[in-house]
Amino acid sequence: MQTQCRKINVSGVVQGVGFRPFVHHIAIENGLCGYVKNTGNDVEIVSEGKKENIERFLHELQSKRPPLASVDQIRTKVSRVSGFSNFSILDSEQDESARSIIPPDTAICSDCLRDMYDSKDRHFHYPFTSCTNCGPRYSLVSSLPFDRGNTSMDQFPLCTECSLEYKFPSDRRFHAQATCCPECGPVLSFTNCSGDVLASGHDAILRCAELIDEGSIVAIKGYGGFHLVCDATSDSAVLNLRDSLNRSAQPFAVMAKDIDTVSSFACINAEESSLLQSRQLPIVVLDKNGDFSLSSHIAPDLHNMGVMLPYSGTHHLLFDNTDSAVYVMTSANLPGLPMLTDSEEALSDLSRIADHFLLHNYVIRNRIDDSVIRLINGKKAFIRRSRGFVPERIELPFSIESVIGVGPELNTTVTLAKDNNAYISQYIGNTSHFETAQYHKQVISDLERLTKINPYRWGCDLHPEFNTTRFAQEQGGNRTVFVQHHYAHIVSLMVDNLLPADSRIIGIALDGAGYGEDGTIWGGEVFEATYSGYERVAHLMEQSMPGGDMAAIYPSRMVLGMLHDVLEPEELRELPLYFRHGESERNVVLQQLERNVNLVRTSSFARVLDSAAALLGISHYRSYQGEPAMKLESVARDGVHDLDLPVVCKRGVLDTTSLLYGLYERLDSHDVRDLAYSIEDALAVGVAELAVSAAKKRSIDVIGLSGGVAYNEHITGRICEVVKDSGFEFLTHNRIPCGDGGVSLGQAVVAGYSERRS
């Protein structure tokens, strides 16, 4: 039989994951000659041999693949036979394509853990042990291709033994760019807050574990940045941490030694258990269980909390040597600023917060926070999509030109997209802070370099005062596309569900605030949406926010705004509310409402939840994002009786004043848990009914939900129920955050879609 030749291009996550040795292996098995090499961000294969062998090879390329690899596309073309005599792995080559990308950071694998615990292996007790199947990736990389020279490991030349493994095709560490050992790799050191080294290597682990057990707060440098760590069972340690961070109530995530330990303080169902132990090892939001034994200050007044398992060698070694099986493990940052990644900066910025530091000596190139996932009615919802997932490709349902979405302001991400590929960045944070806005710019340039996408159009929020909007305008000029916030949410939902280009849905977007086309603040919206535009078909009643954002921070102000027209002045004065400046503030707010001074109109859904939380005495101050609504959810969870609050919809507007008034009327006669449950329920039903009636009127059979309120399990579940009972298909998010972390993708796609048509 005649020898044939195929030139094959593979795109996907194919670099830094042992893909070339895998190709080498199956080529040899099939008796093929030729080569494999990394191009810019694809893998190129030339294979020569018998036709059926090539075909089996092509099949195995897709069916076998190494654990971390994912293949998006294989393009094959017939080529001229050049008569190779063997199959070889060639060096990498630069290229300008934008189809593949480096893999996310991955938890240490079981093989490497075995090496780390084997006293005869040279990786014994070495926390940076990694191989082609595990370890940090994205956080190490500065540019493509993913070669050691383009990573932080370039400062650590391989020793003889590591080098042998690195060069031997059948070794697990063949071309493992981050491989290293105690001989040649980074080292741990344990320091006091002035940076004096107290111990290094394995002793650093031992001292660190010992001091955490004694109640110290330690800043630990990890994969993508610093964590602040303390014993999660110690009230005094947790309170110390709260004090020094000035974080009165924001929940802390914890890391538990193993899954059995988790089940000692949290409820885990089968799905949550597999999510907790999935290869990304994200933070999973779990309900606390009945005999919760951790400090009550970890997630005060909430029924749930974020939990993760050890993912780095350092974590495993710490838990081997500690008495505390659960650590608080929270991103180390000053309020509103990005997580710290640099040792020097951490030593200076955290010196008043951490007692000690556990440092390593390689550079973190890309900051990356832990991912946070919550199961909502059995479906995975990303609260934060970062470590373990970024920069994985998001497949788009159609092809678009090169675009960027710069995101909104809080919890922002950026998205670069081209063809049918989108890359959502890691969590960036609150860009109203200058330092975070600088980081936002940095992420854009890093991601441009790694994806080789050079955006033509710039999608941004409609809010004129966001730093992200200003930046997009500076960069994009007349190629800037302003995308209404909730429309971006709905488009991200359509993309998430791979709806084709001509789709039309009824989209429900529920969140705190987005600048509306009419200059008011939207947040409880029902849209008829396509990829090319939308119509606002229904929304919550517009309410006054006295003093703008002050009404979001102190929800009692919002209560006065909502009830001002239905209660007498004496009744308003007697409402059980809290004002920072006491009764004189209540009077000022009432005067503001009376005289229309500094009021803003809003149809926000979250502000109604906040108001309910304030009226029910559950929460009076927002010290972290979503606090009043989250605390309301925790109380509502124990509600059993639906109190039939009046759900009144007129001409596409849900009357939220009637709902809150209904709550007011029942304040003295009912249990707070039932009241909380009932208002969530009534709001959900009201919004769902608005959507269903719009869908009927417009003969649309798909209804979807997006926006940060979708993290509320009760509300999402209830909307789903009403929509499905009415015979409509119901869409929620799956791959993309429903909160503001998904907005950049919606912006990018809207910008790209407008380009596509012109």
Partner 1 sequence: LVGLDDLDDGATINITGILENKNSNVNSNDSGNCNNPGEIVITTDSHVITPAFFPDSNIGRLAVSGTVNDLAVMGAEPLALTCAMIVPEGFELSSFEKIVRSMSEAAEEVDVPIITGDTKTVERNGLDSIIINTTGIGIANEVIRDCGLCTGDKIILTGTIGDHGISLLAHREGFELTTDLVSDVAPLWNMLKDVVQIRTIEGKPAISAMKDPTRGGLAGTLNEMAQKSGTGISIEQKDLPIKEAVSSACEMLGIDPLEVANEGKAVICVKAENAEEVLSIIREHEYGKDAAIIGEATEENLGKVLMRTPIGSMRYVDPPTGDLIPRIC
**DSSP per-residue codes, 458-501:** EEEES-TT-HHHHHHHHHHGGGEEEE-HHHHHHHHHHHHTT--T
409 near Fe ion, judged by CB under 5 A: no
Nearer residue to Zn ion within complex by CB, 157 or 646: 157
6, 20, 374, 557: the catalytic one is 20
Nearer residue to partner 1 within complex by CB, 12 or 708: 708
589 near partner 1, judged by CB under 8 A: yes
The partner residues of 74 in beta bridges, in order of sequence, read: 10
CB of 709 to partner 1, least distance (A): 11
Question: How many whole angstroms separate alpha carbon 166 and alpha carbon 33?
Answer: 22
Nearest 5°: phi and psi at 45?
-125, 135
* Subset of residues 117 to 146 that bind Zn ion, contact rule: CB under 5 A: 131, 133-134
DSSP structure class, residue 95: -
113 near Zn ion, judged by CB under 5 A: no
CB of 461 to partner 1, least distance (A): 10
Question: How many whole angstroms separate alpha carbon 411 and alpha carbon 383?
Answer: 10
Instruction: Find the part of the chain contacting Fe ion (CB under 5 A) among 31-39, 462-470, 649-657, 738-746.
Output: 738-746
Which positions from 93 to 122 touch partner 1 by CB under 8 A, shown as an x/- string? ------------------------------
CB of 709 to Fe ion, least distance (A): 9
Question: CA-based angle 731:376:260, to the nearest 5?
Answer: 145
Q: Is 269 a catalytic residue?
A: no
CB of 448 to Fe ion, least distance (A): 25
595 near partner 1, judged by CB under 8 A: yes
Residue in 511, 525, 633, 713 binding Fe ion, rule: CB under 5 A? 511
CB of 437 to partner 1, least distance (A): 8
597 near partner 1, judged by CB under 8 A: yes
Is 221 strand, coil or helix? strand
CB of 378 to partner 1, least distance (A): 26
Question: CA-based angle 103:445:331, to the nearest 5?
Answer: 65
740 near Fe ion, judged by CB under 5 A: yes
6, 9, 30, 38: the catalytic one is 38
Half-sphere exposure of 412 (CA within 13 A, CB side): 32
Angular region, 193: left φ>0, alpha ψ -120 to 50, beta rest: alpha
Beta strands of 274-414 (E only): which ranges? 283-287, 304-308, 326-331, 356-360, 372-376, 379-384, 393-405
CB 706 within 8 A of CB 720: no
410 near partner 1, judged by CB under 8 A: yes
- Axis-axis angle for helices 713-725, 672-697 (nearest 10): 40
Return the one option of Fe ion, partner 1, Zn ion, none that residue 600 interacts with (CB less than 5 to 8 A, by type): partner 1
CA distances from 562 to 520, 543, 649 (A): 16, 6, 16
Nearer residue to Fe ion within complex by CB, 511 or 525: 511
Q: Is 20 a catalytic residue?
A: yes
Half-sphere exposure of 109 (CA within 13 A, CB side): 18
* Subset of residues 439 to 468 that bind partner 1, contact rule: CB under 8 A: 463-467
* Subset of residues 625 to 684 that bind partner 1, contact rule: CB under 8 A: 625
* Subset of residues 706 to 735 that bind partner 1, contact rule: CB under 8 A: 708
Nearer residue to Zn ion within complex by CB, 130 or 556: 130
Q: Kindly list the strands in the beta sheet with 43-49, ordered across the sheet, starting from the edge strand earlier in the chain.
A: 70-78, 4-13, 43-49, 33-38, 87-89
Q: Residue 715: which residues within 8 A CB-CB, separation 6 or more?
A: 510, 680, 683, 684, 709
DSSP structure class, residue 106: B
* Subset of residues 154 to 183 that bind Zn ion, contact rule: CB under 5 A: 159, 162, 181, 183
Which are the catalytic amino acids? 20, 38
Residues that bind Fe ion (CB under 5 A): 511, 740
Interacting residue ranges for partner 1, rule: CB under 8 A: 246, 334-337, 408-411, 432-435, 437, 463-467, 511-515, 519, 521, 545-553, 580-581, 584-585, 587-589, 591-592, 595, 597-598, 600, 602, 606, 622, 625, 708, 740
